[in-house]
Amino acid sequence: MKRKFLLLVMCLLTFHLSFAQNTITVQGRVTDAETGQPLIGAGVVVQGTTTGAQTDADGNYTLSAPADGTLTFNYLGYKATSVPINNRTSINVQMETDAATLQEVVVTGYGVQEKRDVTGSIASVKSEELVRQASQNPVSSLQGKVAGVNITNTGQPGASPQIRIRGTGSALGSADPLYVVDGTFVDNLSFLNPADIESIEILKDASSAAIYGVRAANGVVLVTTKRGRSGEATVNYNGFVGVQRVTNQLEMTNAREYAQLVNEKNGSELITTNLPSTDWYDQILRTAMIHNHQVSASGGTEKVTYSASAGYLNQEGIIEGNDYRRITARLQTDFQINENIKVGYNGIFYDYKSNDIPGDIFYQAYVAPPVIPVFKANGRYGDPVDFPVGNFANPQASLDWFNQESRGQRLTGNAFAEVNFLQNFTFRTSLGLNYGIDEYRNYRSRDSLTTVQFASRSLLTQQRSKTNMWLWENTLTYDKTFGDHDLTVLLGTSAQEDKSNFLTGFANDVEFNSDANLYLDLGDPETVRIEAGGNRATFVSYFGRVNYSFLDRYLLTATLRYDASSKFPRGERWEYFPSIGLGWRVIEEDFMSNQNIFDNLKLRASWGRLGNNNVPSNIFILRVATDERFGAIRNGVLYPGWNINTTTPSTLFWEVVEEFDAGLEMGFLDNRLTVEADWYNRKTKDAIFGVTPLGYLGLGGQILGNYATFRNRGMELIANWNHDISQDFSYSIGANFSRNKNEVTDVAIENATFYNGNLPVGGYQVSVTRVGDPIGSFFGYEVEGIFQNEQEIENSAQPGASPGDFRFRDQDGNNVIDERDKRIIGNPNPGFTYGINTSFRFRSFDLQIDIQGVADVDVYNGNRNVRYGNENYDKDFYDNRWTGPGTSNSYPSADLTGRNLDPSDYYVEKGDYIRIRNLQLGYNLPESVVSTLKMRNLRVYINAQNPVTWFKYNGFSPEVGGAPVSQGIDRNVYPLSATYNFGVNATF
Amino acid sequence: MKNILYSVKRNSFILLSALTIGGLAACSEDFLDVEPEGEPVGADFFVTPEHAILAVNSIYGNLREWNVIAFAHLAITTITSDNAAKGSVPGDAGFLDEYDNFTITPTEGQLNGYWNGQYQAINLTNQVLTNVPLINMDETLKQRLLAEAKFFRAYHYFNLVRTFGGVPLRLAVPVVGEQEDPSTLNLPRSSSEEVYAQIVKDLTEAAAVLPPTYPTAERGRATQGAALGMLAKVQLYQRNWQQVVDLANQVEGLGYRLVDDYYSIFRIAGEHNAESIFEIEAQTIPGNCPASNSQWAEVQGVRGQFGWGFVEPTEDLVNAYEEGDERLDATILFRGETTPEGDLINPNAPNPRYNQKAYVPGFVTNECGYAKDQNVRILRFAEVLLMRAEASNELGDTQQALADLNRVRVRAGLDPIESATQEELRNLIWHERRVELALENGDRFFDLVRQGRAAEVLQAQGKQFQAGKNELMPIPQQQIILSGGTLTQNPGY
């Protein structure tokens, strides 16, 4: 019977009072009635008291109870059982699975539902999965775990990965999904310790997500943190310590090779080829430490349950001087005030501090010529001026000079009250809050490191920004069964205000004696300057949902959300977002009773509309530019200048996503093998898109409006195999695979091509969005070959070329190479993503191997393409370049200038990769040892994360990411590193 | 299906209304009307006289923009010419070699930067010219501000027409609060004659209103002399010789005179001297590097010692100076020399020569980067004299031509020219223009084109200049694409 609505865990306790007369010690074992397997962590409570216990790893419990009392046994997914003690000291209980559940409960928006009743596509990742990842960011842990979810990870400590659910759903902004943590909307999950999470649900299809209407266009990620259960307190410690090392380090040329290339390029010996060589990556990279500890406690009585935790993470970055420290703390308490009223709260505190590095340090290390030494003989930094190569920062000097510290705190919380009345009604009101402060302090000391890195005055920059969000939601739920009809109706309202602002101060000449001196008022008052800004958005919504099932076979879910956002003008701001989902549990049909192939068979189909609110505030309001640079200078005095250098779209309305999803769920061999397949067609209509205006309009940026319609179509396939071969050995293998195809189907301006993806040197735009092609496709020339000699050039469409230059394909055959000869040369939208997750348990050992990959995706090698002058070259280029007739017909000469830098397919490379994501070997110490340590359970493990990644791309990492319309252009990313950990899980 | 859902919705609405407690009353439209935080709203702008002043200020501030004054400007106007090569070290910003060699293709990025930079400036002038007339304010001030905007609209269109030929002529923007008619959003190129006509109109109107001088605190604003002098130059390009003479006479009547020391003109102390007619103001504003953003001099500074080392004066320019011409040393900074201010120019600098008109002594602050204090000299009286000399010569007034020419020569420490034929004098004046104004405000390439000898002179320098093509730069390819082909390319590209 599905009765556990609105709460993941609910106490099914009654309130008989019993008076202890004679206390005895009761012990026993709790097992599954069907399999005889012990149930671990089941709750045992003496009815009417606060006395309770939890079963241990073998299903055993011990507690003191009145001889005439009653014990109540609870376990998620099983029927609660009450057993009178009757003076017995040993009570073994076999618990039966709750007939109506297939164990798995998934969290849906504003409620929970058994997986078997779900009509949409919801992926669920449980805490057991998450804690095994040794990842520091919960989103990062999902990589390779969920079909249809593509995660682009970054190695930067504290940074959030990029996530795309079923392709790129919107064009503007981050295209990130909505994150909901215990009902509170947040922007990212970097404030959460993965160990605090009970489950993560990803609402992939529109019908599941439509209850979040306007926020849901890019999918919804629901996070449920752990809650206490009544019973004896449990204390856990999880910790690991490890080292991180970069893998796949990109090989650049050494001094000799570089000098050779520069000399070839300039046609004369500019640099001697016998200079000592600097490998700048070796110079700035390091093996970094990481350690992480978390202690949690949970427990409670019938009336009060709690869960609390504290976590500490200290992670060094793989770049010298980069480190990140995170403290997380969480407290959650629920109070059952009386039979009908329950209140509770949940607070998550997050505090971080990081020592930062220059954002472009990987770029600096890529381009810095290897002929520049780190230090000169006189101890000063190696200086580009000593070599005829151009202006380059000495990356080591950049790191040493850079002094920036970021810190911040965030409190995310939620308080609720819930009232049950008239048997079937539940009213819940909840207030979510998110309050955060982020600060950074940057001090550029007065120094002269090299001729290009100097400051004649010191500069202190301090920024403080504040975010402040409240979300008030009210829901009324009606839940009733009439014979064969199950009905749940949910109605709700939601109001939200999201506010942020920042204040940045600058001052010169603050004297540095210690960090404690770094205050703006200690600088030259004449130089003190302030920048400030803010953002505010409000939302109002009404929503409702009906879940109906008949005979447990025919399922219907219908939702409607009526949403308004301040981001749209009056008259356009209210919109309906309906959805409907249908399910048919074929397995329950009579005609299925005689077959023995399927243990589960379910068909489902859904359709829904979603909105995208992920657009900047106020784009429909014309605003005034007040930048400092517009100030007029007269007689040495600056007078502010204001102007209007933007425009607003003539109309602006909701960008809407409509999605159809069809799914099939199957179970075979006693559900040891489960297979789930989904097909979807997701259309983003009137996407808000930035269009580069004609230059003569003189506008400062892009015009935003409803300019494009595009589609993501694809399928997902998930197969899981679980087999408990014996008491000693069990294993599981899961595989997920997804295919997505993105295509622009319409643009508001006829035949228009929208350009993005700026590459600075030539002002080229390499990403185009146009009808018939994927969003943000790479656009450029096809390289036919390399000009081998002057004669080939004479007979070509490129009379100005030199031998060794690219010969571009003259697509239109008019003997001129121009814009008309450009073609789509690559697609940065991943076609395939997949993951293989395995786990094995043999006696006390467990082994987990996860593999993950992306295929059918292109990367634009912007590092190779963006060249101002004598930047360093990668070794692959050196090895393969053209050096004379017949030496290469695909790589050009070292003279990478002029048209050789026009966007072409030479710079487009396969971004496919396959990675061993996680390798973990654990050992549960024998009970004899554990009990002497006064523990319930002790597991130790070794873990290797990302130890190996295979790819062919000529860069540091093919995981590039980027904004939807200009994604996949590699201009240097902070690569993921391999992490090797030793860890401990202990339960007390 | 939808109907069912919608009726569910209506019923639910009644229930929901019952659900809402107190605070949801706030959830009205008012709650959803949110003003932009920390940003003035367009609808509230162009209301007060202060707004008019702020809007005109931004026209001036914009003159320091990278796209308007740095690489693109120097590439198009100077590296193209026989006065300078790319400079810096080989390969550094190699795309600038395309200007040196005339291998420029329409996708070269500086073109688009220059185009956008000039039009962004024009937009600022159009903002003022459209909106300020509607402001209720002191009429004299209003007319002056409008005249300043016209001066700059003309200035930027003049840069465009010299570079690209005819360009789209946009002269108004929507009044704040009104939407633009989409049909006007893709203007074709006007002819260069139409563009010149508009420039003449704007400058004429500006000259009629602008004051001859401003109080010291207002120094840097466009004056009547600036408008007249600029108009003279525009007429020079159109060979309207009599107008050039008349306008030059008017400028002279405003009291400008040559200063004695040529070198002092280009030092910070020489800003706005008696000869100066218009300068772009640049200054290190303490604590405000975003506003201290002119990179015109920084990119030309001695490489490794001061700046980036671009725009290397050519040997040919050195040789163009006559024996004893004081301007050679004032114009060209030789590596190894010691400047009058006492800076030893690095003898090992990668380039033999740098632009001394962009030189800022080492003792001047570089807290926002090198040479953020160097004004760009756009128009000085010496040029007006040379314009009048050239026009007078064309009109046959040799005496006037010689007189003006010799004022400039004598100040430079040279002997006056006693007599010359019209043809000789024409060449002498052209030559004088080159050495007097070299590396200063980017006229040399346009002068050569205007004088009809660009191919002859530049090919002699070994440049791949093609007559009939390279007189104009290509229209940026990106603009042609964005226009969907409405903008047409210049011949030969």
Q: Tokens standing for A851?
A: 């593999």
Rounded to whole angstroms, the Cα distance separating A953 from A969 reads 12
Q: For residues A132 and A141, is the Cβ–Cβ distance under 8 A?
A: no
pLDDT for A14 beyond 50: no
CB pairs A-B closer than 8 Å: 339
- Nearest chain B residue (CA) to A533: B38
Chain B stretch 354-373, residues whose beta carbon is closer than 8 A to a beta carbon of chain A: 365-367
Q: How many CB atoms lie within 10 A of CB A820?
A: 11
Helix (H) or strand (E) holding A60: strand A60-66
Neighboring chain A residues of B23 at a CB cutoff of 8 Å: 472, 495
A818 and B186 in contact by Cβ < 8 A? no
A629 and B180 in contact by Cβ < 8 A? no
Q: What is the dihedral of CA B456, B459, B460, B463, to 10 degrees?
A: 150
Burial of A950 (0-12, 13-18, 19+ CB in 10 A): exposed
Rounded to whole angstroms, the Cα distance separating A853 from A912 reads 7
Q: What is the pLDDT of residue A103?
A: 57
B218 and A763 in contact by Cβ < 8 A? no
* pLDDT 10s digits, A854-885: 999 999 999 999 888 899 999 999 999 999 99
pTM above 0.90, yes or no: no
Nearest 5°: phi and psi at B183? -70, -20
Q: Tokens standing for A731?
A: 């294993």
Q: Tokens standing for A45?
A: 């409570």
- Percent of chain A whose predicted confidence (pLDDT) is above 90: 60
B254 touches chain A (CB under 8 A): no
Helix spans in A808-926 (H): 862-865, 875-880
Q: Among the listed ranges A101-115, A380-394, A649-663, B114-128, which one has the minimum average pLDDT value?
A: A101-115
Q: Which of B151, B173, B285 would best serve as a mutation to test chain A binding (most A beta carbons within 10 A)?
A: B285
- Percent of chain B whose predicted confidence (pLDDT) is above 70: 94
Q: Tokens standing for A246?
A: 């970069």
Q: Tokens standing for A295?
A: 């202690």
B478 touches chain A (CB under 8 A): yes
Which residues on neighbouring strands pair with residue A435, listed in sequence order?
A411, A468
Long-range Cβ contacts of A395-398 (<8 Å, 24+ apart): A395/A280, A395/A283, A395/A284, A395/A361, A395/A364, A395/A365, A395/A368, A396/A283, A396/A284, A397/A449, A397/A450, A397/A453, A398/A358, A398/A361, A398/A364, A398/A453
Rounded to whole angstroms, the Cα distance separating B370 from A95 reads 80
Residue with the larger pLDDT of the pair A136 and B166: B166
Q: For residues A463 and A446, is the Cβ–Cβ distance under 8 A?
A: no
Rounded to whole angstroms, the Cα distance separating B52 from B47 reads 8
Chain B stretch 121-160, residues whose beta carbon is closer than 8 A to a beta carbon of chain A: 121-124, 126-127
Mean pLDDT, chain B, whole residue set: 92
* pLDDT 10s digits, B129-185: 999 999 999 999 999 999 999 999 999 999 999 999 999 999 999 887 777 776 778
Chain B stretch 42-81, residues whose beta carbon is closer than 8 A to a beta carbon of chain A: 42-43, 45, 51, 53-62, 64-65
DSSP, collapsed to helix, strand or coil, labels residue A349 as: strand
A634 and B177 in contact by Cβ < 8 A? no
* Closest residue to A388, CB basis, from B15, B89, B167: B89
Nearest 5°: phi and psi at A763? 70, 25
CB contact burial A240-261 (16+ within 10 A = b; e otherwise): bebbbbbbbebebbbbbbbbbb
Q: What is the pLDDT of residue A18?
A: 33
A628 and B290 in contact by Cβ < 8 A? yes
Neighboring chain A residues of B345 at a CB cutoff of 8 Å: none
Nearest Cα of chain A lies from the Cα of B242 at a distance, in angstroms, of: 33
pLDDT for A751 beyond 80: no
Neighboring chain B residues of A264 at a CB cutoff of 8 Å: none
**What's the gap between Cα A235 and its chain centre?**
29
Q: How far is CA A973 from CA A156, A866, A888, A908, A959, in A?
A: 9, 15, 30, 17, 8
B119 touches chain A (CB under 8 A): yes
* pLDDT 10s digits, A544-574: 999 999 988 999 999 999 999 999 888 888 9
B124 and A696 in contact by Cβ < 8 A? no
Neighboring chain B residues of A622 at a CB cutoff of 8 Å: 41-43, 176-177
Q: What is the pLDDT of residue A761?
A: 67
B57 and A640 in contact by Cβ < 8 A? yes
Neighboring chain B residues of A765 at a CB cutoff of 8 Å: 478
SS (H, E, C) A770-839: CCCCCCCEEEEECEEEECCCHHHHHCCCCCCCCCCCEEECCCCCCCCCCHHHCEEEECCCCCEEEEEEEE
Nearest Cα of chain A lies from the Cα of B325 at a distance, in angstroms, of: 32
User: Taking the alpha carbons of A882, A888, A889, A890 in that order, is the dihedral positive or negative?
Assistant: negative
pLDDT for A223 beyond 80: yes
Q: How many CB atoms lie within 10 A of CB A99?
A: 7
User: Which amino acid is residue A87, in one-letter code?
Assistant: N
pLDDT for B26 beyond 80: no
Q: Which of B3, B14, B24, B34 would best serve as a mutation to test chain A binding (most A beta carbons within 10 A)?
A: B34
- Percent of chain A whose predicted confidence (pLDDT) is above 70: 97
User: Which amino acid is residue A195, in one-letter code?
Assistant: A
A578 and B2 in contact by Cβ < 8 A? yes
B218 and A634 in contact by Cβ < 8 A? yes
Strand A111-114 vs strand A655-668: parallel, antiparallel, or unpaired? unpaired
Q: What is the pLDDT of residue B268?
A: 95
Nearest Cα of chain B lies from the Cα of A924 at a distance, in angstroms, of: 52
Closest listed residue to residue A555, CA positions, set A578, A579, A586: A586
DSSP, collapsed to helix, strand or coil, labels residue B230 as: helix
Over residues A930-958, the mean pLDDT reads 92
Q: What are the E-state strand segments in B1-142? A: 84-87
Q: What is the pLDDT of residue A762?
A: 62
Nearest Cα of chain B lies from the Cα of A13 at a distance, in angstroms, of: 29
Q: How many CA atoms lie within 13 A of A184 on its CB side?
A: 27
A491 and B16 in contact by Cβ < 8 A? yes
Domain ranges of chain B: 44-209+452-493
* Cα Rg of chain A, angstroms: 31
- pLDDT tier for residue A95 given thresholds of 50, 70 and 90: confident
- Nearest chain A residue (CA) to B38: A533
A634 and B219 in contact by Cβ < 8 A? yes
Domains of chain A: residue spans and CATH: 23-95 (2.60.40.4130), 111-228 (2.170.130.10), 750-988 (no CATH)
DSSP, collapsed to helix, strand or coil, labels residue B384 as: helix
What is the DSSP track for B87-102?
ESSTTTTGGGHHHHHT
Q: For residues B277 and B226, is the Cβ–Cβ distance under 8 A?
A: yes
Q: For residues A238 and A294, is the Cβ–Cβ distance under 8 A?
A: yes
Nearest Cα of chain A lies from the Cα of B449 at a distance, in angstroms, of: 23
Rounded to whole angstroms, the Cα distance separating A756 from A963 reads 10
Q: Tokens standing for A914?
A: 């396959």
Q: For residues A352 and A324, is the Cβ–Cβ distance under 8 A?
A: yes
Q: What is the pLDDT of residue A25?
A: 86
Q: How many CB atoms lie within 10 A of CB A102?
A: 18
Neighboring chain A residues of B55 at a CB cutoff of 8 Å: 641-643
Q: Among the listed ranges A55-69, A388-402, B314-328, which one has the minimum average pLDDT value?
A: A55-69
Q: Tokens standing for A928?
A: 């004899």
Q: How many CB atoms lie within 10 A of CB A817?
A: 24
What is the DSSP track for A435-472?
EEEEEEEEEE-SEESSSSSEESS-EEEEEEEEEEEEEE
Q: How far is CA A107 from CA A4, A125, A490, in A?
A: 11, 11, 15
B89 and A631 in contact by Cβ < 8 A? no
pLDDT for B16 beyond 60: no
- pLDDT tier for residue A838 given thresholds of 50, 70 and 90: very high
What is the DSSP track for B306-334?
TB--EEEEPHHHHHHSPTT-HHHHHHEEE
B58 and A637 in contact by Cβ < 8 A? no
Nearest Cα of chain A lies from the Cα of B26 at a distance, in angstroms, of: 9
B19 and A493 in contact by Cβ < 8 A? yes
DSSP, collapsed to helix, strand or coil, labels residue B162 as: helix
Rounded to whole angstroms, the Cα distance separating B280 from B156 reads 13
Q: What is the pLDDT of residue A127?
A: 85
Over residues B277-303, the mean pLDDT reads 95
Nearest Cα of chain B lies from the Cα of A850 at a distance, in angstroms, of: 44
* pLDDT 10s digits, A669-722: 988 999 999 999 999 998 888 888 899 999 988 888 888 899 999 999 999 999
Rounded to whole angstroms, the Cα distance separating B108 from A898 reads 8
Contacts of residue A877, defined as CB under 8 A and 6 or more positions apart, other chains included, come to A253, A864, A891, A954
B281 and A580 in contact by Cβ < 8 A? no
Nearest Cα of chain A lies from the Cα of B416 at a distance, in angstroms, of: 37
Rounded to whole angstroms, the Cα distance separating A46 from A70 reads 6
Q: How many CA atoms lie within 13 A of A260 on its CB side?
A: 16
Residue with the larger pLDDT of the pair A118 and A260: A260
Burial of A340 (0-12, 13-18, 19+ CB in 10 A): exposed
* pLDDT 10s digits, B375-406: 999 999 999 999 999 999 999 999 999 999 99
Helix (H) or strand (E) holding A548: strand A529-550
Q: What is the pLDDT of residue A914?
A: 97
B40 touches chain A (CB under 8 A): yes
* Closest residue to B217, CB basis, from A634, A698, A902: A634
- Nearest chain A residue (CA) to B52: A642
Rounded to whole angstroms, the Cα distance separating A447 from A400 reads 11
* pLDDT 10s digits, A756-777: 888 876 667 899 998 999 999 9
B61 and A564 in contact by Cβ < 8 A? no
* Closest residue to A493, CB basis, from B24, B42, B476: B24
Q: For residues B120 and B482, is the Cβ–Cβ distance under 8 A?
A: no
DSSP, collapsed to helix, strand or coil, labels residue B402 as: helix
Q: Tokens standing for B47?
A: 């209301």
- Nearest chain A residue (CA) to B167: A696
A622 and B23 in contact by Cβ < 8 A? no
Q: How many CB atoms lie within 10 A of CB B336?
A: 11
Q: What are the E-state strand segments in B142-275? A: none
Rounded to whole angstroms, the Cα distance separating B458 from B100 reads 10
A869 and B305 in contact by Cβ < 8 A? no
- pLDDT tier for residue B304 given thresholds of 50, 70 and 90: confident
B101 touches chain A (CB under 8 A): no
Contacts of residue B245, defined as CB under 8 A and 6 or more positions apart, other chains included, come to B388, B391, B392, B395, B397, B400
Helix spans in A368-522 (H): 395-401
Residue with the larger pLDDT of the pair B477 and B7: B477
* pLDDT 10s digits, A452-472: 899 989 999 999 999 999 999
- pLDDT tier for residue A3 given thresholds of 50, 70 and 90: very low
**Tokens 């109540």 appear where?**
A72
Neighboring chain B residues of A762 at a CB cutoff of 8 Å: 95, 107-109
Neighboring chain B residues of A694 at a CB cutoff of 8 Å: 185-186, 479, 482-483
Q: Looking at the domain that runs over B44-209+452-493, which CATH code has it been given? A: 1.25.40.390
DSSP A38: B
Residue with the larger pLDDT of the pair A68 and A245: A245
- Nearest chain A residue (CA) to B21: A474
* pLDDT 10s digits, B408-419: 999 999 999 999
* pLDDT 10s digits, A284-330: 999 999 999 999 999 988 899 999 999 999 999 999 899 999 999 99
- pLDDT tier for residue A931 given thresholds of 50, 70 and 90: confident
B38 and A534 in contact by Cβ < 8 A? yes
Q: Tokens standing for A755?
A: 């350009």
